[in-house]
Amino acid sequence: MSDKVSVLVAGSWGTALASVLAANHREVYLWTRNPDQAAEINTSHTNHHYLPGINLPANIIATTDLESAVTGSSAVVIVAPSSGMRQVARSLKPFWKEDMLCVHATKGFESETMKRMSTVISEELGCPEGQVVVLSGPSHAEEVVRLCPTTVVVASNDDKRAAAAQELFINNDFRVYTNRDLVGVELAGALKNIIALGAGLSDGLGFGDNAKAALLTRGLAEISRVGVELGANPLTFAGLAGIGDLVVTATSQHSRNWRAGSLLGQGKPLAEVLDSMGMVVEGIRTTEAAYAISLKLGVQMPITDQIYHVLFKERSPRKAVEALMGRDRKTEMEAISQETWEQWHS
């Protein structure tokens, strides 16, 4: 296996993963479309716009030439925004080799088609979806580059590819588990961004810990509900990609989704929030896609429904909370959980 690996694209998470890989491999090529950014990474070993104050390993080589970035690599890690994933995968296709390991670390859906990222990548590369590996879990880029202990999961339908991805990334600061549930890990990583927006809204409104705890718990319930409907293993949502990523994204000021929700809760209009962020807020696109998925499947996602109406239908955050608190009475346990519990205790 070649000791060269490639990362596409040089945002905060792509750069952080390149730093992890640089500890394990001799050459890490980081592809960007921005020549000024490439020059900064190669000369100053910084990526100030995305990770201010961080010095990057010297064996990260930035380039704007996609062919030179991936030729000869044993693995390609794609970290494009969900809205740009198809174009990046399409651009990769001419240089793609069947023996390359393909990993993606993007948490979102393609908004036009509601497809998961592994589906988009496999369509563009012309490979089975099972050949794509997803990396997900509780992992702020700002902490990863400071070598804070971090644990993630890699998932694939192919056990050998999952194990290869585990070997690619794992080191003393970055622990990696494997999982066979590609669908569940991708769904958990994408859908938790919606709940993180909601947690930010709650904090922006000045609500306390009780409200946030309820939001996270019931948010996980609706993520699990739609996940099971789409073929995921419900246990995945109790793991790193599920509750782990949900907690870190919904409770930390590092989280773009939490910050965007907090500003909305303080009364800022969406356009102003997006202008002030300066980075992609995946939860906004994901809310639109998840709302459409819930309608298509007939699956109840009440928190997602209310956040959708706040984002796109000018519903006030306070009215959204009132609507959630005023819903019909329900039993707490989901049907799938109740059936499983009864089987275990029969």
Supply φ then ψ for residue 236, to 5 degrees: -60, -35
The reply to whether 337 sits in an annotated binding site is no
Specify the pLDDT at position 152: 99
Tell me the pLDDT band of 337, cut-offs 50, 70 and 90.
low
Tell me the pLDDT band of 342, cut-offs 50, 70 and 90.
low
71-80 tens-digit pLDDT:
999 999 999 9
For the residues 123-141, what does the mean pLDDT come to? Answer: 97
Query: CA nearest 153: which of 141, 130, 170, 140?
Result: 170
The reply to whether 322 sits in an annotated binding site is no
Specify the pLDDT at position 1: 57
CATH homologous superfamily of 4-180: NAD(P)-binding Rossmann-like Domain (3.40.50.720)
CATH topology (fold) of 183-344 = N-(1-d-carboxylethyl)-l-norvaline Dehydrogenase; domain 2 (1.10.1040)
Q: Which of 93, 97, 192, 319 is catalytic?
A: 192
For the residues 297-317, what does the mean pLDDT come to? Answer: 97
The whole-angstrom separation of Cα 256 and Cα 249 is: 8
The reply to whether 12 sits in an annotated binding site is yes
Range(s) within the chain of domains with CATH label 3.40.50.720: 4-180
270-297 tens-digit pLDDT:
999 999 988 889 999 999 999 999 999 9
Specify the pLDDT at position 2: 73
Q: Which residues pair with 110 in a beta bridge?
A: 115
20-66 tens-digit pLDDT:
999 999 999 999 999 999 999 999 999 999 999 999 999 999 999 99
The reply to whether 33 sits in an annotated binding site is yes
User: Which residues are CB-contacts of 289 (< 8 A; sequence separation ≥ 6)?
Assistant: 108, 109, 110, 111, 114
Range(s) within the chain of domains with CATH label 1.10.1040.10: 183-344
Give the count of beta carbons closer than 10 Å to the beta carbon of residue 90. Answer: 14
- pTM of the predicted model as reported, rounded to 2 decimal places: 0.93
The whole-angstrom separation of Cα 297 and Cα 292 is: 9
For the residues 330-341, what does the mean pLDDT come to? Answer: 65
The reply to whether 160 sits in an annotated binding site is no
Tell me which DSSP letter residue 328 carries: P
Q: Which of 100 and 342 is assigned the larger pLDDT?
A: 100
User: Which residues are CB-contacts of 236 (< 8 A; sequence separation ≥ 6)?
Assistant: 179, 181, 184, 185, 188, 227, 242
What is the average pLDDT value for the chain, to the nearest integer?
95
For the residues 338-345, what does the mean pLDDT come to? Answer: 50
> What percent of the chain lies above the pLDDT cut of 70?
96
Tokens 């590819």 map to which residue?
161
Specify the pLDDT at position 315: 97
The reply to whether 5 sits in an annotated binding site is no
Specify the pLDDT at position 241: 98
Alpha helix locations (H) across the chain? 12-22, 35-43, 66-70, 85-92, 117-125, 141-144, 159-169, 182-204, 209-229, 245-251, 256-265, 270-277, 282-297, 302-312, 317-325, 335-344
225-252 tens-digit pLDDT:
999 999 999 999 999 999 999 999 999 9
97: annotated active-site residue: no
Query: CA nearest 254: which of 245, 267, 241?
Result: 245
The whole-angstrom separation of Cα 215 and Cα 202 is: 9
